[in-house]
């Protein structure tokens, strides 16, 4: 990835976040965090990955609101960023944070269940044999 595209990705992330926080009046759009922006090499397309706080219904409503706001957001980006072409903005739901939290929960459950049945009694070693007195 070129330095220019990396810089533009960060700039798009900042500007789209600002637009969503300050300019959007759509009540369907809830609490949204921009997690990443992917730009095509020709800068014609931008995939904006969002994390949305709430249940499945809130996420669906927010994604519908973002879909309807794509044109407005593109126009606002054109005012804020000087490029020959402003990319077409497509929003994608990023569930990696939720997947990570789920994996953490599962790992914690496994660790707790292993801790309960692993023979962690005083005076026992890892193999379950009595420890040698010291």
Structural domain boundaries in the chain: 3-115
- The Cα–Cα gap between 132 and 1 comes to 60
CATH fold for the domain made of 3-115: GMP Synthetase; Chain A, domain 3 (3.30.300)
Per-residue buried b or exposed e for 64-73, using 16+ beta carbons within 10 Å of the residue's own CB: ebbeebeeeb
Q: Rounded to the nearest 10 degrees, what angle do helices 70-80 and 3-22 cross at?
A: 120
DSSP class per residue in 83-130: -SSPPEEEEEE--HHHHHHHHHHHHHHHHHHHHHSS---TTB-TTSSB
Q: Which pLDDT tens digits describe the chain residue by residue (134 residues)?
A: 689 889 999 999 999 999 999 988 888 888 899 999 999 999 999 999 999 888 889 899 999 999 999 999 999 999 999 988 899 999 999 887 777 888 888 899 998 888 776 555 555 455 555 555 55
């Amino acid at each position: 990835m070129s330095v220019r595209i990396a810089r533009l990705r960060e700039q798009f992330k900042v500007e789209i976040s600002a637009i969503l926080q300050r300019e959007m009046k759509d009540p369907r759009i809830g609490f949204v965090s921009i997690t990443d922006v992917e730009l095509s090499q020709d800068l014609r397309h931008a995939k904006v990955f969002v994390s949305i706080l709430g249940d499945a219904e809130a996420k669906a409503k927010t994604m519908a609101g973002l879909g309807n706001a794509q044109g407005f957001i593109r126009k606002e980006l054109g005012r804020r960023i000087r490029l020959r072409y402003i990319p077409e903005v497509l929003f994608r739901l990023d569930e990696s944070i939720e997947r990570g939290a789920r994996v953490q929960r599962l790992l914690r459950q496994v660790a707790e269940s292993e801790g309960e049945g692993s023979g962690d009694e005083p005076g026992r070693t890892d193999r379950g044999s009595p420890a040698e007195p010291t």
